[in-house]
Amino acid sequence: MKRVISGIKPSGELNIGGYGGALQPFITIQHEYECFFFVPDLHAITVTQDPKELYQRSKDIAAFYIAAGIDPKKSAIFIQSHVPAHAELGWMMETQSHFGELSRMTQFKEKSDGKDSVSAALFTYPALMAADILLYQATHVPVGDDQKQHLEMTRDLALRFNNRFGSTFVVPEPIIQSLGSRIMGLDDPSKKMSKSNPNRNSCVLMLDSPDEIRKKFSKAVTDSEGSVHLDWEAKPAVSNLIEIYAVFSGDSIAAIERQYEGQGYGSFKRDLAEVVVEKLIPIQERYKEIIDSEELITILKDGALKASEAAKATLHQAKRAMGFVTF
């Protein structure tokens, strides 16, 4: 059985970058694989989090999974810290990770850049990510652009462990998506649209009102050429908007370029806002129904049970392989 595990960190308010790069692909993937979708709260705390916000955002991500269309009857939806095997195997994988390879991780370099002090956990984060994946013997992992290096390290760790201790882990393959794998900020197309960016105009949040969405797209940077065509080198800002349009409408890039030929940016941006509003409204409505419901709690408890069952077997096998006393 082909199996997938993936998650979205509750490190800030979810935006359309996370939707396009992760959540929307999850909806498709759930029909082709046995899936485990989790809320990586242990990853979120690698940088400082306000406890009240972490609590709310962890619930939010789980509610968005369901609201966007992940079927909890088919896929396990759970919170990472509810399955302690993640932390346990994370430590074991840390012992197999080399300082040099962790030092080369570009995400660590970016996130630690210019900071006086960063947590040790931010540095060892890829070992925990490897554990998240290997614990479920995932055959496939959907990866956004900036997670490719981490998945490569997961594969290296699985192979290293298997060579040292005997065949234990499935070595996972990436699922690379062609569209939406790197949605950039609306204010600056050289920076990824990120939850931790304090500039609220850089992104459209999943819970933004239609008017906020319209305002943000009308302010989005473009260029002076006035031509809607994709060219990431010469026209990164407009290319980013075209890609968002394609992700949210399902239209091809060529069809979008044809539709707006010779029209400048005004009508393109207005239509783009409507395409996004149309997609987000039903998700927001379902989110509101579920966020404070018993239904959400039940789904998360059931998901954690299913995940724990799957994780337990691998953890036991890995411990025995390493020489731990197990019964």
Nearer to ligand AQP, 61 or 307 (CB): 61
Instruction: Give CA–CA dist 72/209, Å, rounded.
Output: 27
CA angle 155, 158, 161 (to 5 degrees): 145
Residues binding ligand AQP: number (CB under 6 A): 22
The answer for residues whose C-beta is within 8 angstroms of residue 19's C-beta and 6 or more apart is: 68, 206
Kindly state the smallest distance separating residue 242's Cβ from ligand AQP, in Å. 14
Kindly state the smallest distance separating residue 125's Cβ from ligand AQP, in Å. 10
Name which position in 3, 4, 5, 9 contacts ligand AQP (CB under 6 A): 9
Q: Does 111 qualify as catalytic in the annotation?
A: yes
Write out the H or E segment, with its range, that includes residue 34. strand 34-39
216 counts as binding ligand AQP under rule CB under 6 A: no
192 counts as binding ligand AQP under rule CB under 6 A: yes
Q: Does 109 qualify as catalytic in the annotation?
A: no
Binding mask 225-264 for ligand AQP (x = CB under 6 A): ----------------------------------------
User: Residue 33: which of 6, 7, 5, 3 has the closest Cα?
Assistant: 3
202 counts as binding ligand AQP under rule CB under 6 A: no
Name which position in 134, 157, 193, 321 contacts ligand AQP (CB under 6 A): 193
Could you say which of 59, 195, 216, 269 is catalytic? Answer: 195
Binding mask 22-61 for ligand AQP (x = CB under 6 A): x---------------------------------------
The answer for residues whose C-beta is within 8 angstroms of residue 292's C-beta and 6 or more apart is: none
153 counts as binding ligand AQP under rule CB under 6 A: no
Q: Does 115 qualify as catalytic in the annotation?
A: no
Q: Give one DSSP letter per residue of 169-203, joined into a string.
A: S--PEEEE-SSSSSPBPSS-TTSB--TT-S-GGGS
12 counts as binding ligand AQP under rule CB under 6 A: yes
Reduced DSSP (H G I as helix, E B as strand, rest coil) percent helix, strand, coil of the chain, to 5: 55, 10, 35
Instruction: Give CA–CA dist 4/75, Å, rounded.
Output: 10
147 counts as binding ligand AQP under rule CB under 6 A: yes
Name which position in 21, 126, 172, 189 contacts ligand AQP (CB under 6 A): 21
Nearer to ligand AQP, 61 or 158 (CB): 61
Instruction: Give CA–CA dist 207/184, Å, rounded.
Output: 19
Name which position in 46, 80, 137, 194 contacts ligand AQP (CB under 6 A): 194
Could you say which of 9, 109, 115, 192 is catalytic? Answer: 192
CA angle 74, 288, 23 (to 5 degrees): 45
Name which position in 126, 144, 172, 189 contacts ligand AQP (CB under 6 A): 144
Instruction: Give CA–CA dist 219/187, Å, rounded.
Output: 8
181 counts as binding ligand AQP under rule CB under 6 A: yes
Stretch that binds ligand AQP, among 97-105, 192-200, 216-224, 303-311 (CB under 6 A): 192-200
172 counts as binding ligand AQP under rule CB under 6 A: no
Rounded to the nearest 10 degrees, how much is the dihedral formed by the CA atoms of 281, 287, 288, 294?
Answer: 160
Amino acid, single-letter form, for residue 271: D
Q: Give one DSSP letter per residue of 59-74, joined into a string.
A: HHHHHHHHHHT--TTT
Residue that the structure tokens 């013997």 belong to:
137
Nearer to ligand AQP, 240 or 314 (CB): 240
Catalytic residue numbers? Answer: 111, 192, 195
Give the residues lining the site for ligand AQP (CB under 6 A): 8-9, 11-12, 17-18, 20-22, 143-144, 146-147, 180-183, 192-196
